[in-house]
Amino acid sequence: MSILDRIIADKKKEVAQRKSLFPTSYWEASPLFDRKLNSLSSRLRLSASGIIAEHKRRSPSKQNINNKLTVSKVALDYQAAGVCGMSVLTDGKYFGGSLDDLNLARAVTEFPLLRKEFIVDEYQLIEAKAHGADLILLIAAVLTRTEIQRLSSAAQQLDLEVLLEVHNQEELEKSLMPTLDLLGVNNRNLKTFEVSLETSRDLASKIPDEFVKVSESGISEVAAIQELKRYGYQGFLVGENFMKTANPGAAAKEFITQLEG
């Protein structure tokens, strides 16, 4: 069983447990549930940088990225740096995150927040909405076309945008549908964890223009973004490159200054 298979198996158990503890009516009563969407796709279309910064404490491949900073501090500093939005890891077992992180980030910021999670059930969309998210991530590698259709339609009804993540052409072809807003290409091979921007370059022309193109993982240099912009990418998810520093917000600000300069 691969690490991804283990994560999904654990996630399904976790969601079942949370359902038994908190009915959907509990989350629907949240003060944030009726909050108006702050569109990340619109921001990216207008942005000169397209940076989506991330809060990530650890990952299966790197056990300690940054455990010292509060999510509130990181979120405030990212907002001051001028990023377009923020990705918040909410998986606990493998990434050290939680839904509380999403709440804390929303309490101090106005920009779009992505709940970055292994979504397997509509219940998680309701959780995301109740904790202030503006969009959710769907990972094509772990979902069938029917599941992507069902989950993206449910997100649309909740006024959440959808970032669909693919790793290859096969995943892209099975996933294209009008209920998506952003198409993300993850440059990290899920089997080997190796990273190559060639993945984004190869798939760029196959993504229809109605979707905002987002390149994810392995982006650490301004030159890489400048090149990917020529392939039509408008969004760039940057996680470890900022989070591995003592001050992620300052790192993001310096990166954006170089990019826009």
- Any idea which residues carry the catalytic annotation? 54, 56, 116, 165, 186, 216-217
Q: How many CB atoms lie within 10 A of CB 73?
A: 16
Looking at the DSSP bridge assignments, the partners of residue 213 are 183
3-state secondary structure 200-256: HHHHHHHCCCCCEEEEECCCCCHHHHHHHHCCCCCEEEECHHHHCCCCHHHHHHHHH
Residue pair 192/164 in contact (Cβ under 8 Å)? The answer is no
Retrieve residue 164's tokens: 């669909």
Retrieve residue 48's tokens: 């000169």
